[in-house]
Structure 1
């Protein structure tokens, strides 16, 4: 290179890459490294799937939590609502089958596919629930194709609140309840499980639900399902109350509608009637009982009460 004045220009320093922020440790305030370990206390960064929530409108919210005893959260949920129309809501809860690989991916794919179908207008809710189960089934089969040799599976419960009516559909043992502020609470779904078969055969529900095979399901969504058509039921929910969908991580501890309604009332007293605060309180309560399973709660406030739970 020819230099006219006889001196070489100073080499410009190479730009240094900006440090990547991998997050801050909630325990000590240290920084996580690229592998997810805290550089200060060594704690592992939590998986975002361990606990997540959604509140698309003031009258609708859902929370999904790993619980205390499982190392992975195989539950999933998806909710949709319009802030300007508190008379409408879509709720979906799916619980991955722990004995089947990739069920965590399957439950999330199923919930997201179902809520997209249920959020459309045009077809009646009863039709959309069947279509939503079909879409969820297709999404799970796609997961299975992405991971050859697996048969991921999950339960399915979904609800559409519209015009004072709640329409629910279910496959498996995730449940839907209607919990009015005044009047008799009811369970709107029937489990596809050996426990439910034992109840129909004459065993008491309390005994059946603690039997060794209580949570063995007889129908599910997944490549090896015998039948994924949901059982569909409709209920008038024009009175003030709660539409509640949940996985067995919650109802394990309060199966009967009256018992669950009492837990919800306690949750309102403790946390207030905001759906997200209440859903968090219910998840916390289930963890306090032992948190033996993943816990998912989806809530929609119905009726003519204000969003703070007061009448008017």
Structure 2
């Protein structure tokens, strides 16, 4: 596997508190990697270490196959980032803000028009930033992060404070970047439903520890399946199944089967029909990332 970013034993301590502990992060090239966890889990601390803004207590970071500790300047030239909220000069236009950064980064002038086109801000490029909506300011922050043609884009909570239309705009923009521009994207968020619609792989951090890391599909498979059965005389039907030794739950008039194979579900349905019960509905409940996350973190706490 070709990893564009890899950490080994990454740890950060603040006196007696450990914010990040032995983090093993692996991000394949060309992925949108969702870095998930509740507020205070250690996401921003990790991102600051990945960008060389904070020194780890122990462990190592490799980006583009190079050690961040030894090749920081070279590595950072290939990274674009938006950590928390974007920085800008409100009295300047979007174009003028990018021009100030362009001179520091040292890219050609035409690159500003390219990034404004990517983030769909070309029409308001000459409007003062203080008149921008929050979503427009976030997109300007991403435009600034894209100026240096990054191979890796790191976004920390980019949808924070956005209204629904702003979130959709941000989601569509991020999804386009790997396919159209060959970038790898690391996006951190506590909004699991948002990551569900953007990311191709994910890492879940809880209390500073990585508790899951794989593709989004693998995350779904990791969760227990749940089948709901709507039956007439459901309470007696549940008692009948319990007497037969079937593992089932009963809640609000619905029978639930957890982690049953297709064959086991068919057996339960057959038993109920044979016993004379009427089955109105058999459904597989699709679990959201929030449900899966809660399942994983509850196991971790246990």
Same fold (TM over 0.5): no
Normalized per residue, the structure richer in helix is 2
Normalized per residue, the structure richer in strand is 2
TM-score by length of 1: 0.24
